[in-house]
Structure 1
Amino acid sequence: MNNNVLVTVHGLQHEIDDKEGIQTKQTGNYRLVAGKHIISYKEYFRDEETGRDATISNLLKISGDTVTLTKRGATNTEMTFKTGKTHTGFYETPFGSMQMSLDTTRVDIKEADDKIEISIDYGLDMNYSHVSDCTITMVIESLN
């Protein structure tokens, strides 16, 4: 895979009546380090609360059957997904921090020479209350 990649992330919360969910496409950088796929990319958006432009730096690590996404910037969190495992941590925003729990039911990773496709199903709890069952899909593909 090339060092320059396109990262497409599509998130869907099943309990919310929104069939399209949220999708973002960003360019990023890819490295293979000690058998782990490492992808870094930034998300740029307008913060509707403050009216200012905001950035989140993302670091995606794929190792075997485990996916870890670390976010730093406008929000801060680390999310680890592995089938049958629960990950707890904090989701930090400018307005405060919330306890987060991810109960992963499925992680599917497909690797090809110029593309990695990831699909994850998980339950999301915030502050000990179930928020939604979610699906996130990520496609990382080489840019020519």
Structure 2
Amino acid sequence: MDARLKIKVTSKITDAQGATAEMVIFSDATYKAIGDKRYLMYEETEGSGLEGTKTLLSYESGLVRIKRYGDVNSDLVIQLDATHENFYRTPYGIFEMQTSGKSVHWDDNGRLEILMDYQLCLTSDGTCSHVFIEIEEL
């Protein structure tokens, strides 16, 4: 299955003090299924603060990998009940992070729906945020 899609990406980030920021972007995307692996690629927009960056999500056996290419480069792994070490490279430096998956849902039967709920912690100072991402086909 290869397809061009229009998607809506909703991100909610709650910081350690309980303040929540929500961001919604709309983007064109490409979707590919190869065997049991799934791939979704889209370009970030100005609204995300990552304009000029491509995001590639891959999914297999309950594990989501979020790779970003451009001014910001990252490779985050989200997996239910697992903690992974990750790196986020920005023009301001490299940040080491940990992700701990709370839930992962990827459904491409009919319309595409992806839900990820995870904790993201900066390794350097232990600051953690709760991240919820929903991607849906329009």
TM-score (norm 1): 0.81
Alignment of 1:1-144 (within 5 A): 3-15=3-15, 16-18=18-20, 21-45=22-46, 54-113=51-110, 115-126=111-122, 127-140=124-137
> Is contact 1:100–1:128 with CA below 8 Å preserved after alignment?
no
Shift in alpha-carbon separation, 1:46–1:116, aligned structure 2, 3 A: closer
Percent of matched pairs sharing the same residue? 20
Cα deviations by residue, 1:72-103 (Å, 9 ceiling, x for unpaired)? 10210011111011111211100111111111
How many positions carry a matched residue from both structures? 135
> Is contact 1:125–1:132 with CA below 8 Å preserved after alignment?
yes
The 1-side partners of 2:36 and 2:114 are apart by: 17
Amino acid at match of 1:117: E
* CA drift at 1:112: 1.8
- Give 3-state SS (helix, strand or coil) of 1:21's partner: strand
> Is contact 1:88–1:99 with CA below 8 Å preserved after alignment?
yes
> Which is higher, the Rg of structure 1 or of structure 2?
1
- Give 3-state SS (helix, strand or coil) of 2:46's partner: strand
The 1-side partners of 2:62 and 2:47 are apart by: 34
Shift in alpha-carbon separation, 1:58–1:101, aligned structure 2, 3 A: same
Shift in alpha-carbon separation, 1:140–1:66, aligned structure 2, 3 A: farther
- Give 3-state SS (helix, strand or coil) of 1:79's partner: strand
